[in-house]
Chains A and B, each alone.
Chain A
Amino acid sequence: MATALSPIDYVLWVLSSLLQAVFFLLLVWARLYRRLPFFSFYMLIVLLSNATVWWTYHVYGYTSSISFSLSWVLQALTLAARGMAVGELCHRVLNPYRGVWALAWRLLSGVTLLLVVYAGLAAYSSRHDYVLTFIQTAEGGLELAAAVLLLLLLAISHYYRIRLPAPERLLIVSLCAWSLVQVLNDVAWQVWADDYFEWARKIRMLSYQAAVLVWIYAVRRPVPAEQPQPAMNAALYNRVAPEVNLRLQALNDRLLEIFKA
């Protein structure tokens, strides 16, 4: 494993930092920090931790123990901030639909809890192998949890025909795609170990840059003001929904009768 950074690493780092800075400025310019405070906080954490990690790599070399520890501590912080950003996106999209949100938040919380516990158990069981395996397993599990949570959000929005606001839609899709790429990257890293180390780092950076480009595209124009959602009387739902379900049930029963005949 090489101990010094290559020129390509520096180019990728500069490019990544520039893109992050542009995106962060756009967030401030569009005043999205008011609309998405946790997501903006996440971007600030990423910006600062990226600069810190690369400075440490530059000074101590990226195989030094100080670089290793610092980068994974900052990675844990970034993951936690991303978790909050994902939660915020779910809340922002579904909260205006009060009935849907009241049902969905339990489902989303339950699934997240299960996946985080699973990630913890998987990481704990791999602790004897090597500390890096433990960290990679935990990170992969948390990335998977974030991806599944965002997919569930998309599925619920699709099921209830909830229109996702323009910037949030792109943020959700790209965050989810990025998390899935990281899960695959972690799996490949665990399989090929040191041989894959360089590739893992480059893929992480390139996929992140692709995600930031999508985010820049998402906030390139002023975000339209939010419209209040139309509300309906709960009594109407209580009257119509059972009726609709009864009809759907009857239609299903008729279908099944054919097979019982």
Chain B
Amino acid sequence: MIVTVILVGLLIALLIFYAVRAWRELPAESAVSTLGSDEPPELLLPTHFCYYSQIRQALARADREYLARRATPAVRRRWEAERRKVVRGFLAGLKEDYVRLERLGRTVASLSPELSQELERERLWLGLRFRFWYGVLWLAPLGSRWTLRLLDRTTNLVGSIADRTAAAITAIGEATNRPA
């Protein structure tokens, strides 16, 4: 009995979530027509990675060592808090870049007359995995070797995604503008 009640509770939470989303959601056809229109395609292009050098600077170990020697504990704490805010904002931006790319894949899929079960399953799995590890990294200590390496690699990758995404957007735009 208690299992059924918990299950129904979860289902009700899901229902509320999807009902709210159903009212807000931008339809797939609108998203694609945007790509085919004169509007800029920035809606789907990764954009946050270009701020990486500033973020890398904010995480520089030398700054921390300098402050440890010279600044008072109160100043150091404030500096840490500010730095944390900026880096987490950047990480959120990277996630946004990922979500845009993922959304492109879903939009193309929704409008295609045939779908590959394998590709769809793969994208779903990748999305789940990315969100899981992203959550773990979000909790990782700031300025650690992990976080710095993540930022280096992820940012380089997202940068290269930008070019590929731009090409895909152009292809979709051409396809949707083509008369039937």
Contacts and interface: CB of A to CB of B under 8 A. Distances in A.
B135 to A, nearest CB: 11
Contacts, number: 205
Contacts of A259: 133, 136, 146
B5 A161 contact: no
A103 B119 CA distance: 12
Interface string B154-169: 1001101100110010
Nearest to B146: A258
B22 A173 contact: yes
B133 A252 contact: yes
B47 interface: no
A99 B115 contact: yes
B86 interface: no
A241 B112 CA distance: 10
Size bracket, chain A contacts: 35 or more
A161 B27 CA distance: 6
Interface residues of B, number: 71
A243 B26 CA distance: 24
Interface string B98-141: 10011111111111111111011011101101100110110000
A86 B69 CA distance: 68
A244 B28 contact: no
Given A230-B176, A249-B122, A255 B134 contact: yes
Nearest to B122: A245
A247 B107 contact: no
Given A154-B22, A161-B106, A229-B29, A240 B114 contact: no
A239 interface: yes
A200 to B, nearest CB: 15
B116 A241 contact: yes
A104 to B, nearest CB: 10
A247 B98 CA distance: 9
B145 interface: yes
Given A154-B19, A176-B15, A230-B32, A236 B112 contact: yes
Contacts of A163: 25, 27-30
B8 A184 contact: yes
Contacts of B101: 244, 247-248
A158 B154 contact: no
B21 interface: yes
Interface string A171-201: 0010011001001100100110000000000
In the A-B complex, the 4 residue pairs with the smallest Cβ-Cβ separation, listed nearest first, are A163-B27, A237-B112, A154-B18, A244-B105
10 contacts: A99-B113, A163-B28, A230-B33, A232-B175, A239-B171, A242-B119, A244-B108, A252-B133, A255-B133, A259-B133
Interface of B: 1, 4-5, 7-8, 11-12, 14-15, 18-19, 21-23, 25-33, 98, 101-117, 119-120, 122-124, 126-127, 129-130, 133-134, 136-137, 145-146, 149-150, 153-154, 157-158, 160-161, 164-165, 168, 171-172, 175-176
